[in-house]
Amino acid sequence: MHDLAVLELEDCRRCGLWKARTRIVNGSGNPRAAVMFTGEAPGKAEDLKGIGFQGQAGKIFEALLSYLGLSRETIWLNNAIRCRPLNGRKNRTPRMGEIEACRPWLLQDMETVDPKVVVTLGRIAYESVSGRQDFTEKRGRLLDISGGPALFPLFHPAYLIYRRASRQLMCHDLMELGRYLDEIGIDRAKQTRPGDVFCES
């Protein structure tokens, strides 16, 4: 078994994002999890705390987990990019070179945790894990990556903060994902009702 890609501050300078980071945001959760969630990149709160999905997006992420009957303790959570991408003082979308530079850490996580399914959150995570550029067509569907775990792309939680219509799509996607998790025998706690966050009744 390889070591998890857990990096100490200042360890990695593969791309220029090390210059402005407070912390590298490594993966967290259960290193033997059957379900891995991969997000995009740290924002301000994550950069300070060193743990993925804080703040408003974190609340939506936890609601998503709760809806699926999962928790931060039962999954493995990481990001496509481990240092905060900044444009001045604001977050920005990671650049292709940064995604490529950080990808070995992501792949190392995948190899070590060896999950049955990787749930990607948003376009960047999907592209980094799959190497494909068809997020819009594939979102909400189960995909096979040759020789790797199954892949299930979802919207990024931050995308849903102000988009109620997309929450309805997320509702549908989560039901599909839940059915698949049952099919492959993932142990899930009692789930929240669909209408709680994502599905309007």
Six-digit token string for 60: 């939506």
Q: Is 158 an interacting residue with respect to ligand SF4 (CB under 6 A)?
A: no
155 — alpha (psi -120 to 50), left (phi > 0) or beta? beta
Separation of alpha carbons 105 and 182, rounded Å:
29
The pairing of strands 90-91 and 86-87 is antiparallel
One-letter amino acid for residue 136 of the chain: T
By beta-carbon proximity to ligand SF4, the closer residue of 50 and 140 is 50
* Subset of 6-65 contacting ligand SF4 (CB under 6 A): 7, 12-15, 17-18, 24
Closest CA to 198 of 166, 171, 179: 171
Measured from the CB atom, the residue of 60 and 121 that comes closer to ligand SF4 is 121
Decide: is 99 part of the binding site for ligand SF4 (CB under 6 A): no
* Contact flag: residue 4 with ligand SF4 (CB under 6 A): no
CB of 130 to ligand SF4, least distance (A): 19
Site residues for ligand SF4 per CB under 6 A: 7, 12-15, 17-18, 24, 81-83, 98, 101-102
